[in-house]
C-alpha cells in the first residue's frame, strides 16, 4: 500500500477522528511573518543571479573563492577581499531522488521525482557550490561527478532569487 503522507513515529490521530468530533480540537493559524535582511553578500549574489551571473567572494589569505558569497572568511576570521565571477557550470557532488514533496506529501503518480543536488561550481574553490535541483535528466542517469550547467529563467522573468536558475542540466560529452 502506498502511503498518502510520509510519517515517522507514533500513530497519529486520524483526521476522521477530529472531523467526527471524537476528540476535542482547537484551530488557530499562527501568523508568523519575517522579512530577512540579506546583508551585502547575499544581496549582491541575488542581484547578480537576476543578471544571469553567479558571483563569489574571495579571501586573499586562504585564497578560497566562496559561494554563496560572504563578507567574512569564517576560517581565517577576517573580511573577504574581492568579488569574483564564477561559471554557471559545475560538477554534481551529491544528489538524492525524492519521491515526496517538500512537505512530505507523496508526488503524484507518473510525476518525475525531485532531484536535489549539490553542485560544485566551476571557478569556486573545491567543495564550494550551490544546492539546487537537476532537470532534463532521468533519475537513473544522474551520477556523482556528472558535469552540469545552469538553465536560467528568461531575463524578464528573473526576480533576484535562487530560483532565477530553473535547474542544472547535464552537459554533453
Partner 1 sequence: MREKVAIAGIGYTAFTSVSPGSSYRELTYEAAVKAYEEAGIEPKDVDSFVCTSEDMLEGYSISDEYCNDQLGAVLKPVQTIPGDFLHSLAVGVMHILTEKFDIVVVQALSKASNMKTIPEMVNFAMDPVLNRPLDITAYAVAGLEMNRFLEEGKATREQCATVVVKNKANALANPSAGYGARITVDHVLESEPVAEPVRLLDIAPYADGAVVVVLCAEKIAASLTDKPVWINGIGWSSDSPTLESRDWTDAVAVRLAGDMAYRMAGIRCPAKEIDLAEINDEISFKELQHLEALRLFEPGQAGRATEDGVTSPQGKLPVNVSGGGLGVGHLFECSGAQKVLELVLQLRGEAGARQVLGARVGLAQAWRGIPTTSAAVAILSA
Binding piece for partner 1, criterion CB under 8 A, among 70-78, 118-126, 134-142, 143-151 = 70-78
* The three grid cell numbers given for residue 159, joined into one nine-digit string: 526576480
Toward partner 1, which CB reaches closer, 1 or 32? 32
7 binds partner 1 (CB under 8 A): no
For the beta carbon of residue 49, count every other beta carbon within 10 angstroms: 23
Could you say whether residue 102 binds partner 1 (CB under 8 A)?
Answer: no
Rounded to the nearest whole angstrom, what is the least distance from the CB of residue 121 to partner 1 in the complex? 19
Closer of 8 and 26 to partner 1 (Cβ): 26
Grid cell locating 97? 531522488
d(CA 146, CA 67): 20
∠ at Cα 103 (97, 104), nearest 5°? 55
Residue count (the chain) = 173
SS3 per residue for 144-157: CCCEEEEEECCHHH
Verify binding: residue 18, partner 1, rule CB under 8 A: no
Contact flag: residue 39 with partner 1 (CB under 8 A): yes
The window from 9-17, 71-79, 88-96, 158-166 that contacts partner 1 (CB under 8 A) reads: 71-79
Please enumerate in sequence order all residues whose Cβ is within 8 A of that of 163, keeping only pairs 6 or more positions apart, or say none.
153
Tell me whether the omega of the peptide bond preceding residue 144 falls within 30 degrees of 0, making it cis. Answer: no
Q: Is 74 in the site for partner 1 (CB under 8 A)?
A: yes
Query: C-beta of 60: minimal distance to partner 1 in Å?
Result: 17
Instruction: Tell which one of 47, 62, 71, 144 touches partner 1 (CB under 8 A).
Output: 71
109 DSSP assignment:
T
Asked if 30 touches partner 1 (CB under 8 A), the answer is: yes
171: phi then psi, degrees, rounded to nearest 5 = -90, 145
Interface positions with partner 1 (CB under 8 A): 26, 28, 30-40, 42, 70-72, 74-75, 77
Amino acid at each position: 500500500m502506498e502511503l498518502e503522507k510520509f510519517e515517522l513515529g507514533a500513530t497519529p490521530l486520524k483526521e476522521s477522528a477530529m472531523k467526527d468530533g471524537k476528540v476535542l480540537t482547537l484551530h488557530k493559524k499562527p501568523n508568523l511573518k519575517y522579512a530577512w535582511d540579506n546583508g551585502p553578500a547575499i544581496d549582491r549574489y541575488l542581484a547578480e543571479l537576476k543578471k544571469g551571473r553567479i558571483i563569489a567572494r574571495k579571501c586573499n589569505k586562504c585564497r578560497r573563492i566562496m559561494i554563496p558569497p560572504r563578507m567574512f572568511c569564517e576560517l581565517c576570521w577576517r573580511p573577504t577581499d574581492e568579488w569574483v565571477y564564477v561559471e554557471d557550470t559545475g560538477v554534481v557532488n551529491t544528489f538524492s531522488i525524492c519521491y515526496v514533496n517538500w512537505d512530505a506529501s507523496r508526488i503524484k503518480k507518473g510525476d518525475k521525482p525531485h532531484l536535489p543536488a549539490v553542485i560544485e561550481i566551476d571557478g569556486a574553490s573545491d567543495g564550494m557550490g550551490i544546492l539546487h535541483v537537476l532537470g532534463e535528466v532521468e533519475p537513473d542517469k544522474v551520477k556523482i561527478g556528472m558535469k552540469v550547467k545552469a538553465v536560467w529563467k528568461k531575463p524578464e522573468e528573473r526576480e533576484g532569487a535562487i530560483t532565477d536558475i530553473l535547474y542544472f542540466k547535464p552537459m554533453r560529452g
